[in-house]
Amino acid sequence: MARALHKLSDVAVKAVKASGRHSDGGCLYLWVSPSGSKSWLFMWARDGKRREMGLGAYPTVSLAKARARAADCRSAVEEGRDPIAEKAKEAEPTFGECADKYITTIKSEWRNAKHEYQWNQTLTSFCESIRPKRVSTITTEDVLEVLAPIWQAKAETASRLRGRIERVLEFAKVKGWRSGENPAAWRGNLRNLLPKRQRLQRGPQPAMPYAEIPAFTARLRKAEAMAARALEFTILTVARSGETLGATWPEIDFKGKLWNVPKERMKAGAPHTVPLSVEALAILKALHEQRQEGQQFIFTRDSENPLSNMAMMMLLRRMKQTEITVHGFRSGFRDWCGDATSFPREVAEAALAHKVGDETERAYRRSDALEKRRKLMQAWADYLKASKASNVVKLRG
């Protein structure tokens, strides 16, 4: 058992960015994942084998609380007891504690840190009324109290929140903290209690005609909000919202003028390299100069968390663009490629990270397509700067 204790400080725990384990002594470690999330581990050896047990996510579990839990675990080990076995018999938590435990349990399933942030945000900000209650006492009335205020006004958020509450309560039942029916279940329960609403729209996203995008980006450049820089970058790179919001500085190759998006953050599950135009690089260089020490995400308000997944959409609403979506700019780009340029179809599709052809064909064309896409992305950036975009000129690929 390690003797040195309390090697870390609150300031150090908050500031540390390097992934891996950081010892506080006494078998207590702060684990920093490659995505930047932090959690506590208690590690000890028994019969020559190393064992480890999670003590909760930081900052939900503070340094002081983690030390107290580690002290209990050390006592158990010294007395020959098994902390993991005893944890399985732990006392019933509150809904908030149960939600935090569940997020810690499943976060390894997610491909980027945005999902963990969204789960934490919705199960905290919208569930204030039920977080202090014991998880076994949560009723259908409690769930309705949470959902009813946003059921019509924030339909998609409410649907996701209901599903997350349902999964937390399923987790509680498996752990033995609840019994009976799930009060957040939809069929045979909330479906009969919440008002009907318009079905969520799926399929093609409403898009701005490409002839109007240059004038819009000119307006966008005058806005100073971080969401404006994120949206402008998204338009220039024709990325998906999640790819932009989850972008980190290590993904940027300033020398090669490339943005290397790892497969974990791509819809198709394959890595994607984006050639950066002069204008996209200018945005990144300006933000790089302003970044805080240790900042991971590029587009952030507080240097620690990415912008909300609604930040760019809300910016569109403030700019009176109520009939389009962020994703729709990708459609505008694709229409521009087909109508106003001579770039080959497969180059345009590759720029959008769409799969074209079989695996052998994609591997054969990969290196050549990068330089062709570089020309395409710069042509797109040049078009967006055009003062009279309606005068369509055929660009040679």
Q: What pLDDT is recorded for position 202? A: 47
Q: Is the four-CA dihedral 395, 230, 33, 288 of positive or negative sign? A: positive
Average pLDDT for 253-272: 88
The verdict on 331 and 225 lying in the same domain is yes
Summarize pLDDT for 30-48 with one digit per residue, the tens: 999 888 889 899 999 888 8
Whether 139 has a pLDDT exceeding 90, the answer reads yes
Residues 214 and 362 in one domain: yes
Choosing from 141, 165, 192, the residue where a domain stops is: 192
Q: Are residues 277 and 371 in the same domain?
A: yes
> Is the residue at 394 inside a domain?
no
Whether residue 199 is contained in a domain is answered as no
Residue 382, pLDDT above cutoff 60: yes
Q: What helix, strand, coil percent values describe the chain, rounded to 5? A: 50, 10, 40
E strand residue ranges, the chain: 20-25, 28-32, 38-46, 49-58, 252-253, 258-261, 272-275
289 burial type by CB count under 10 A (0-12 exposed, 13-18 middle, 19+ buried) = exposed
Q: Does residue 358 or residue 62 have the better pLDDT? A: 62
State how far the Cα of 318 lies from the Cα of 220, in Å rounded to an integer.
11
Residues 163, 273 within the same domain: no
- The whole-angstrom separation of Cα 172 and Cα 299 is 35
Sign of CA dihedral 342, 347, 352, 357: positive
Two tokens at 362? 């994609």
Share of the chain above pLDDT 70, in %: 89
Q: Are residues 104 and 80 in the same domain?
A: no
Are 101 and 70 contained in the same domain? no
Tell whether 39 is covered by a domain: yes
Q: Is the pLDDT of residue 158 over 60?
A: yes
Instruction: Look up the pTM and report it.
Output: 0.52
| 3 part of a folded domain | no
Shared domain for 294 and 179, answered yes or no, is no
Please choose, from the candidates 48, 388, 376, the residue with its C-alpha nearest in 3D space to the C-alpha of residue 237.
376
Residue 140: which pLDDT band, with cuts at 50, 70 and 90?
Answer: very high
Domain range for residue 253? Answer: 210-384
Residue 194 DSSP class? S
Answer whether residue 229 is part of any domain: yes
Whether residue 83 sits in one domain with residue 229: no
pLDDT at res. 1: 44
Q: How far apart are the first and last CA of the chain?
A: 66
Q: Which of 29, 57, 87 is the last residue of a domain?
A: 87
In a domain, 204, yes or no: no
CATH of the domain at 50: 3.30.160.390
**Does residue 218 sit in the same domain as residue 295?**
yes
> Do 373 and 230 fall within a single domain?
yes
144 and 283 part of one domain? no
Upstream peptide bond of 34 is cis (omega within 30 degrees of 0): no
How far is it, in rounded angstroms, from Cα 224 to Cα 394? 33
Establish if 349 belongs to a structural domain. yes
Strands of 258-261's sheet in order across: 252-253, 258-261, 272-275
Question: Which DSSP string corresponds to 342-392?
Answer: ---HHHHHHHTT---S-HHHHHHHHHHHHHHHHHHHHHHHHHHT-S-TTS-
Q: What is the CATH number of the domain that holds 131?
A: 1.10.150.130
Measure the CA angle with vertex 85, ends 82 and 86; round to 5°. 85
pLDDT tier at 204, thresholds 50, 70, 90: low
Longest CA–CA separation in the chain, Å: 81
**CATH code of the domain containing 305:** 1.10.443.10
- C-alpha of 242 from chain center: 7
Q: Give domain status of residue 143, yes or no.
A: yes
Residue 102 sits in the same domain as residue 224: no
Residue 71: the pLDDT is: 92
Show which of 52, 87, 122 is a domain's final residue: 87
Say how many domains are in the chain: 3
Write out the H or E segment, with its range, that includes residue 217: helix 213-222
For 177-199, what is each residue's pLDDT tens digit?
A: 888 889 999 988 998 898 876 55
